[in-house]
Amino acid sequence: MTELQGKVAVVTGGSRGIGRAIALALGGAGARVAITCTQQYQAAEEVAAALKDMGGEGRVYQFDIADFEATSQAFDRIGSDFGGLDVLVSNAGVTRDQLLVRMKPAEWDIVLQTNLSGTFNCNRAAARTMLRQRSGRIINITSVAGLTGNPGQTNYAASKAGIVGFTKALAKELAPRNVTVNAVAPGFIDTDMTQVLPDAQRQAVLQQIPAARFGTPEDVAACVLFLSSEGAQYITGEVIRVSGGLAI
């Protein structure tokens, strides 16, 4: 598949889980991929190596997306190294789950700063390039938690709901320049983050999923790949749930 042959894609949080699957899917479609990470540098390098083994190109950029200046500088480096930017997948995020009455301000702040402000930082940096090119695809990874809420996740749900509104507003700003902005809302995806949950909790969630299985990172990556393609050129401002029916 060469749908994205020669295109330049940035995948934030691309070292593992959903981000890793997205980076590999875009690379498999011919994109040259910049993989960003904050801490998981070695894992990100392994993704870059896997892309090279596929005959593609992957480079790792380590910075904190919650840091506005560091993000701006990193995107400048990426643009210089690759010669442009065609696809941004703003995927990086964190959780600090806690009941609201027990939640510390620091647990609220880090989730909002990383998930929501980090989305702003990356989208702003990418949009500046895409507006000049008069083309581009931005895909923000939100969550069904931002649409339905989850107990113990007021911080996470607020950050992901914010991404939904942010995506819709930005889509209206960028559409006249042929830049689409969409969001993908995964449900319960089987990753390292969810595998640590107690079996009883996993089974309780499974009973709520009409598809009767947990999602895979590749399920999410397939949706992102489509939104990155020419076939999605008239789709913007949408939130697509990849949840097996969990959030109908």
Q: Which of 41, 61, 156, 234 is flagged as catalytic? A: 156
Which of 56, 58, 40 shows the shortest CA–CA distance to 48?
58
Number of C-beta neighbours around residue 106 at 10 A: 9
CA dihedral over 183, 186, 191, 194, signed as positive or negative:
positive
Active site residue 156: yes
Question: 132 is written with which tokens?
Answer: 């000049």
Question: 36 is written with which tokens?
Answer: 């960003």
SS3 labels along 185-237: EECCECCHHHHCCCHHHHHHHHCCCCCCCCECHHHHHHHHHHHHCHHHCCCCC
Residue that the structure tokens 């995964």 belong to: 186
Q: What's the Rg (C-alpha) of the chain? A: 17
Q: Are 72 and 121 in contact (CB under 8 A)?
A: yes
- As annotated, the active-site residues are 156
